């Protein structure tokens, strides 16, 4: 689970911006808030980030995408680190971007942080937090690695660090060198944190088309409940020669696809879904199709691309919500523009379904960005689960929790205050030289 994370000097975030999933003292929806007894704290299962276009919501999503890519994939020899520094400050190019995370992994809290420029990793630190005490597992700074000598693999760490390139995270290199001590943090970024962009397509097509998969019936039941008109998904085998594949790609598949292996393709038209595998030595292609009921009770098949954009989006999102609600799930999904192409009631139903299964023992989390103000509802979300992204006149973004506003009570229509511009995070639209929406300072924040 994400407990806290912060970003500094990244894209529109010039100053340090902190985002927290720690629950405040409010009691609303308390039965669904996980309690971590060892640390005497409560961690929220959901967070929604609102804001106008170019307010910084997607930049925050991209920050986590960058971190995941840097941790999991690393960098190539002599390549630059693809960090996108804040550009609207002349000093921004001279300062590193900084990222920090507090993560709950197997009931233990770790703090992982680093600072990078396009040329090098300047700082990197990993701390394990045990109750009221902290232990620094390693601290990389000034070209030196300081590490806890009591670690099981301490004898190897200096050797591994000596082989870590300047443009590489020590965490990434140590795991590649089979240092097991830090692998839980690496695995969290690789396997637990799932980032879903607005144009992301669900890649595990095999089980969406496999009637034997334990989630196959769940997907089809939910598709019918959400009024998509789709009765079921299925896979249709088609001749490999009927696919309009470029010859170099077809040759590569022929040469590299081994028995029992499969590859997934998105073909033309844009959202045709294909799985190619080799069975008994022969290449087989399976195409995802949707079925609708006809008036006589029989079914009519459709190509995926013939479905509405909303139905296609539902097909891509439902597996995420099934994973989140699975018993014992520890997945953390961050979905950018969760409401894209979806009706408000449909989006709300997906959130309701997830939250209805959350308890004090839940370890899954869902973070979404959205423009849908009808989701700004205290019957659905707590105040500390709602955030607003706002960009000032200098192009600097910030994230603010609604729980920081002293006047936002549990019985207040916060949607109305938000649309009036009193909470920030809405477009500043100019008409005829006049400002339609102004800044938010009518509602005070705690401590202001």
pTM score > 0.85 for this model? yes
Q: Among 83-92, 290-299, 358-367, which stretch is predicted with the lowest mean pLDDT?
A: 83-92
Give the residue extent of every domain in the chain: 1-198+336-448, 205-310
Output the pLDDT for position 23.
96
**Mean pLDDT, residues 374-394:** 92
Strand, helix or coil for residue 215: coil
Could you tell me the CA-to-CA distances from 305 to 4, 274, 343, 380, 403 in Å, in that order? 39, 12, 19, 33, 42
- Render pLDDT for 258-277 as a digit per residue (tens, 0 to 9): 887 878 776 554 456 788 88
Listed ranges 76-85, 233-242, 307-316, 422-431; the one with the highest mean pLDDT: 76-85
Output the pLDDT for position 200.
84
pLDDT category at 193 given cuts 50, 70, 90 is: very high
CATH superfamily of 1-198+336-448: P-loop containing nucleotide triphosphate hydrolases (3.40.50.300)
Contact 32, 84 (CB under 8 A): no
Q: 266 burial class (0-12, 13-18, 19+ CB within 10 angstroms)? A: middle
Tokens found for residue 68: 């995941």
- Render pLDDT for 3-35 as a digit per residue (tens, 0 to 9): 999 999 999 999 999 999 999 998 899 999 999
Output the pLDDT for position 427.
63
Output the pLDDT for position 432.
54
- Render pLDDT for 341-382 as a digit per residue (tens, 0 to 9): 999 999 999 999 999 999 999 999 999 999 998 999 989 999
Q: For residue 438, is pLDDT > 50?
A: no
C-alpha to C-alpha distance for 65 and 50, rounded to whole angstroms: 19
C-alpha to C-alpha distance for 385 and 205, rounded to whole angstroms: 32
Tokens found for residue 236: 């249709």
- Render pLDDT for 97-153 as a digit per residue (tens, 0 to 9): 999 999 999 999 999 999 999 999 999 999 999 878 899 999 999 999 999 999 989
Strand, helix or coil for residue 367: strand
Q: For residue 436, is pLDDT > 60?
A: no
pLDDT category at 292 given cuts 50, 70, 90 is: very high
Could you tell me the CA-to-CA distances from 173 to 10, 76, 89, 115, 178 in Å, in that order? 24, 12, 33, 16, 9
Q: Among 138-152, 401-415, 432-446, which stretch is predicted with the lowest mean pLDDT?
A: 432-446
Query: What is the DSSP code (8-state) at residue 383?
Result: G
């Amino acid at each position: 689970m994400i407990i806290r994370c912060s970003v500094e000097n990244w894209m529109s975030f010039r100053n340090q911006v902190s985002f927290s999933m720690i629950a405040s003292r409010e009691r609303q929806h308390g039965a669904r808030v996980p309690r971590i007894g060892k640390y005497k704290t409560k961690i929220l299962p959901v967070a929604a980030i609102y804001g106008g276009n170019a307010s910084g919501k997607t930049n925050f999503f991209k920050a986590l995408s960058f971190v995941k890519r840097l941790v999991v994939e690393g960098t190539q020899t002599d390549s630059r680190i693809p960090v996108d520094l804040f550009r609207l400050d002349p000093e921004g190019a001279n300062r590193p971007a900084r990222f920090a995370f507090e993560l709950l992994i197997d009931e233990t809290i770790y703090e992982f942080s680093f600072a990078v420029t396009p040329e090098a990793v300047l700082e990197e630190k990993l701390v394990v937090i045990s109750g009221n005490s902290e232990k620094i597992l390693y601290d990389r700074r000034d070209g030196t690695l300081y590490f806890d000598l009591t670690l099981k693999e301490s004898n190897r760490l200096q050797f591994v660090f000596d082989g870590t390139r300047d443009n590489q995270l020590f965490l990434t290199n140590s795991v590649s060198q089979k240092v097991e001590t830090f692998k839980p943090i690496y695995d969290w970024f690789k396997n637990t944190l799932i980032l879903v962009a607005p144009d992301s397509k669900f890649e595990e097509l095999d089980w969406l088309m496999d009637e034997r998969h334990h989630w196959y019936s769940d997907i089809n039941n939910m598709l019918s409940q959400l009024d998509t008109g789709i009765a079921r998904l299925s896979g249709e085998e088609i001749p490999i020669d009927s696919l309009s594949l470029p010859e170099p790609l077809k040759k590569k598949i022929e040469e590299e696809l081994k028995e029992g292996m499969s590859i997934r393709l998105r073909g033309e038209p844009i959202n045709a879904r294909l799985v190619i595998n080799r069975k008994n030595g022969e290449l087989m292609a399976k195409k995802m199709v949707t079925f609708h009921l006809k008036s006589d009770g029989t079914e009519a098949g459709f190509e995926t691309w013939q479905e509405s954009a909303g139905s296609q989006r539902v097909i891509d999102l439902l597996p995420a919500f099934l994973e989140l609600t699975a018993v014992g799930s520890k997945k953390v999904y961050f979905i950018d523009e969760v409401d894209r192409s979806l009706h408000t009631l449909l989006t709300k139903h997906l959130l309701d379904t997830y939250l209805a299964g959350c308890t004090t023992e839940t370890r899954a989390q869902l973070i979404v960005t959205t423009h849908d103000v009808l989701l700004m509802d205290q019957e659905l979300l707590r105040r500390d689960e709602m955030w607003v992204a706002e960009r000032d006149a200098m192009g600097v973004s910030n994230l603010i929790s609604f729980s920081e506003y002293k006047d936002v009570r549990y019985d207040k229509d916060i949607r109305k205050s938000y649309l009036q511009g009193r909470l920030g995070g809405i477009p500043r639209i100019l008409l005829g030289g006049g400002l339609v929406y102004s800044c938010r300072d009518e509602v005070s924040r705690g401590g202001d």
